[in-house]
Amino acid sequence: METKKQTRKTSGKTKELILVVAREIAAEKGVGQLTLEAVADRAGISKGGLLYHFPGKKELIIALMDSYVSHLSDELETATKPFKGHPQALVLGFIHWYKKFNGIAASNRTWGAAVFAVQSFDPQLMEPLHNWYRKLFEKIRSCGPASLDSATAIMAIEGLFMLSLYNLDHLTTEEKSRIIQHIEDRLLMRELNPKNSIE
């Protein structure tokens, strides 16, 4: 007889499978074509089994967005950890993050683009991502005198990420390396201007 702990474990695995499959379908066909029937069919479960975890498409997309934002938070935390204590840890973390993936891996581009397409389905579903960026800018503001330098550098790197996301990156690897190096040089090898704050 299955114990409650085993039941919870099985339930957790099913929920994880549903999210993996939903992400695949959204990446392949877009959020508009993401249906509960398609997810249940590909996951090999009944629609009732899917509805047990996610009562509707909206709840499923919210869970996908939450998972994506959690992924972003984990990646940023991992990227900034080696620079803990450095006044420009946040920017150095962003640079390290970008270098690690050389922008956005091709396998993640379609999913990343699908995430931003959620806005056309229901703008309110973008709230988890809005919250992530609000927290990011709070971190930038907390850089004090260096906040303007930090904001400029991070926005430049975000621009490179977005070009990669939408497959609009026509820069060579060398050109991207020079841009990143330029950001590091400008940010870390000159005296900070105490007036450079975005507050």
Q: Answer yes or no: are the C-beta atoms of 60 and 54 closer than 8 Å.
A: yes
pLDDT band at 74 (very low <50, low <70, confident <90, very high): very high
More confident residue, 54 or 109: 54
146, containing H or E segment: none
pTM: 0.79
Count the Cβ atoms, other than its own, within 10 Å of residue 53.
18
Q: What is the DSSP-derived secondary structure letter of residue 50?
A: H
Q: Answer yes or no: are the C-beta atoms of 88 and 142 closer than 8 Å.
A: no
Alpha carbon distance 24, 74 (integer Å)? 21
pLDDT band at 101 (very low <50, low <70, confident <90, very high): confident
Alpha carbon distance 82, 87 (integer Å)? 13
- For the chain, the average pLDDT equals 83
More confident residue, 116 or 42: 42
Alpha carbon distance 24, 18 (integer Å)? 10
Mean local confidence (pLDDT), 136-149: 87
Q: What is the DSSP-derived secondary structure letter of residue 75?
A: H
pLDDT over 90 for what percent of the chain? 45
Amino acid at 180: I
Q: Answer yes or no: are the C-beta atoms of 150 and 90 closer than 8 Å.
A: yes
Q: How far apart are the first and last CA of the chain?
A: 61
Cβ burial of 64 (10 Å; 0-12, 13-18, 19+) is buried
Asked if pLDDT for residue 38 goes beyond 90, the answer is yes
pLDDT digits (tens, 9 = 90+) for 44-54: 999 999 999 99
Structure tokens at 130: 């809005």
pLDDT of residue 164: 84
Structure tokens at 127: 């709230």
CA distances from 26 to 116, 138, 185 (A): 11, 31, 40
pLDDT of residue 145: 78
